[in-house]
Structure 1
Amino acid sequence: QHNNPNRIAASLMSYVLGGGSSSRLFMNLREAKGYTYGAYASLSPDEIIGSFSADASVRTEVTDSAAYQFFYELDRMTKRSITEEELDAAKAYLTGSFGRSLESPSTIASFALNTEIYDLPKDYYKNYLKNLNGVSVSEANEIALKYIKPNNAYLVIVGNVGEFEDQVAQFGEVKRYTKEGYPEEKKAVSADVTVD
């Protein structure tokens, strides 16, 4: 939720995982493996239930390998592995982003609106940078441990399923859906069809 006291620390944790070109997902899937032009993660607060997602567009032939690396990085985040250097980079980025946002009058207006709508502390934005830079490595790692649950993740893959279905079965049961989001019925094979 927007007024969750862990929100700022969670934003920093999310940036370390997939917030930019120096993040773990980007460095792994693009720089080290060359699977994609970019891999990212984002945290979306909501009044009912927030969501956390990570995504990339990859070549069909590396679909399973890329999925493996996503789970690898998610798991690594739960091992209290965030470093001081990574946290400092995240703080620098979010500090700069916040500063740039203040150049827009509409953003200032949205801050006032957000404070009322989401029941934020009246000094939330005034103290944002102080609270942001006050997050410790220990706190960031605790947040990762609390919110990142690789075993509860849904793996969604869009593409020519026939080319990677067997390979991605290692991650769990494969369920097919149409592009409209409806469950796809498996086509029955006629008894007249033979391997000849």
Structure 2
Amino acid sequence: MNTSLSSSSVRSLLECYLRAKDLNQPEVISECFSSDAELTFSIATDDIDFPRRVLGAAAIAKTLVADFGERFDRCRTYYVCAEPLVDESQNCSMPWLVVMRQKETESLRIGKGMYRWRFGDESGNAEDRIVQLHIHIERMDAVPDPRAEKLNALQGSLLYPWLPPAELRARLASFIATSSDAEFAVPFKQPAVFD
């Protein structure tokens, strides 16, 4: 394993993950995850469901992109930090926010939680990859929005994909103050934290 992973390499891997997930491109997962990567979940809400553990890039692509894309579209996932910070063990934790549309109900889905990443070398590959991802889902709300007006306004008000916490609070406060029926966004002004 490389002893240090550059900030630009980490950003590139994390942005690759968002390109796969948010643009529904499952084939892109293999560009950023090792072939034997592990995905785990902890979910503090009954409003969404995922398997607790998924092994391998192909299975991760199916779970987080293909299967996810069947239920949701117009997804934007925000990293609620200015810059990813990787420790000496190649781990990185950060809050996230997601704003998307649930196809079946035509509702806005807004959620928050934490990512915990681990990076490393894939054997036979000189480049670092994501070797482990834990996704904690703290909250996932559904908001009636049949014409996607709230979705459009909310996504239009947020910086994508890097959204520093101060910007999150300021931009959501502005969205709530200037949009009708926007109280649903209040619980998302504060980023999620790991217990």
In the superposition, the TM-score normalised over structure 2's length comes to: 0.30
When Rg is computed on C-alpha atoms for both structures, the one with the higher figure is 1
Quick check: which one's helix share is greater? 1
